[in-house]
Chain A
Amino acid sequence: MRLSQNSIALYVVVIALGFLASLLFPNELAQISGLVIVVVLIQTWILANKYMSVGQRAFVLYAVVIICGIAAPFAFPNYVTQIAILWLMILFALTWDMMGGQMGYNSLGNIIFFGVGMYASAIVQIGLYYDVAQYTSHAGAVKVQYDWFQYVFGMGLGLIAAAISAVVVAVVLGRVVFGLRGPYFAIGTLGAAIAAGELVGAWDYVGGGGGITMPTFPGSGDERSLFFYFALFGLALFTFAFLKWLYSRRYALAVNAIRDDEDKAEAMGIHTLRYKTVAWAMSAFLLGMSGAVFGNMSGFVEPLEVAFPTITFGIFMVLMALLGGKGTLWGPVLGAVVFHIIKELTWTYFLGWQWVALGMLIIINVAYFQQGILGWAQEKWPDFFGLTVDESDTREAAADASGEASK
């Protein structure tokens, strides 16, 4: 039986969801129903493999993920925020991989775009109806109460501003740091991220280190969490779909070529700077929007912990992509799911030791498991992923062989 990359991903996603389900509901009924869900899903998948074409199977996989995504906040109403953050993590890992995995530029500073987007949206959303400097100088004394239209309209504009400003920062920063390669690029971008947090912290207009309170959500608490859940879910879904399309284009081979040998790529006439800039700008675009949503979701924007959390979110992005398997489409998704579950568990059950546990995970990942979950699975079961090679000598022989196989 031949399975695609997709099916491994599904098993892991399904088992993870089931696992999460049984843990989140520590009573027997919920655990049993979690198990039933897992069994039903796996059974569906096995049947799908037996009776469906590759295209149909992919369709089922996407349908299952989307249905789970839509159902999750209603099935687990107490954990809407955690699951929303999972989608954010998936977006983080995917956008980091655009540079680090696909292009070999290991950025430790992608969090900049998240923070820039967050602040851009904050300024636009507040500035739409208030004087921002005056608002921030009263530090929370003014409660911003928008009606639905004002809120949604402001946030829409905020998202646009977030995406644009993140792209501008990516293009400008790229001019500076794209001259650096290898570890120098990593350190350079890390420095830029730390500096960004400090700079914003010293900028009084946006409240400096004291931060900005975002407009209050006009609906109820439940409506609020659902609103932001679906915003992040939609953004992650869009990111995945966009990358799936993008990686079937010339773009993918060009950035992979830059990863493998940039000097060769230059010698072959590839517009390397253009590809690097566009790659970074696209990942900044997506991160900027996610920052805007997250800022509104947390309700309060502040430079070090929320907007530019370099050593948490900034490093998690890298870890998740490495854990799942960098340079693949599904690897970062898998990595984000596994990482988020491990992280939530250690934060719950090993409180006080969570950073140690996380450190161990990093060491094991980097020292013994560099290819990540997906890379490891592909190496172990190449047939499983359709990575077998037709060794026909000529094009005629290859045509014959594929003709016979299809008979």
Chain B
Amino acid sequence: MGKALLKRAGLLVGTLLLVSVLAFAAFSVIPGDPTTSVLGAEATREEIAAFRAQHGLDLPVWQRYWSWLAAFVTGDFGRSFKFDMSVSELVATRAQVTLVMAALSFALIVAISLPLGLISARRRGGVVDRLVTVLTQVTMSVPNFIMGIGLMFLFALVLKWFRPEYVPLEDGLGAHLRFMVFPALAVALPKSAMTVKLLRGSILGELGQDYIRTAYSKGNSQSSALRRHVLRNAMIPVVTFLAMAVGDIMAGSIVVEQVFTIPGLGRLLITEIGNRDYPVVQAIVVLLAAVVVGCNFLADLLYRVMDPRIDGK
């Protein structure tokens, strides 16, 4: 275990470095200088020179990358081109919103998909199972921004369960969550459908195994065989899938934040892409990618803990 772990950790660091190089390189090779788009076309030569010196744009690329990376790991993401603010400040307040939404989506996925997957596998071929199978297949095909628009239409405009205006955390946690549940649902529903399907297939696969026949022959009822023997094994791919899903949840938030006009990381990302404010865009991209890489690493770890056989390979 130790050696494999060390190797994976090495890979993690390597991937993160590569991600940072890619993110940095992408914004360093852009045709056109960010100075013209930030300062405007009528900026004087002195202003441009001062701006370039202030943001270190006059240094060679590798030097810029190195100082950016060295500052980045200490939590200093540089200064925004557009706002007179440090990127860390700008990002921190927005990240909180996105994190709440992502956490809520994750909780919803687990809460929706586990019971549904279990029921539909237990009553295989039954009415509930057929209904769930059709519903998951359809839900999987709905892009999350369309799901968001649909939820908005149904719950905000027709049923009037919530007002389609963002409620910040300062207005109270309850009110904040009551609003955030709908965008979180938009992200969670398509992902839940995939999870239900995976869990159902995984349970059915385990039920066909010899050890389950043995469990029945030892006098286990269906539910005790499920509880004691099947679930533990059937959950392995599901847990891995859920850990990997965090990246998609984050990406989904970017789009769904636009639907519900939530001032999170995604909205900041989109507006600053428009403003060509690259330090902000770079920081958000690397942070999100780091979360994804971290979660993939976690998925790998969990997999090894839950299924020790993998170490033999």
Question: Real complex partners, A and B?
Answer: no
Residues of A within 8 A of B (CB): none
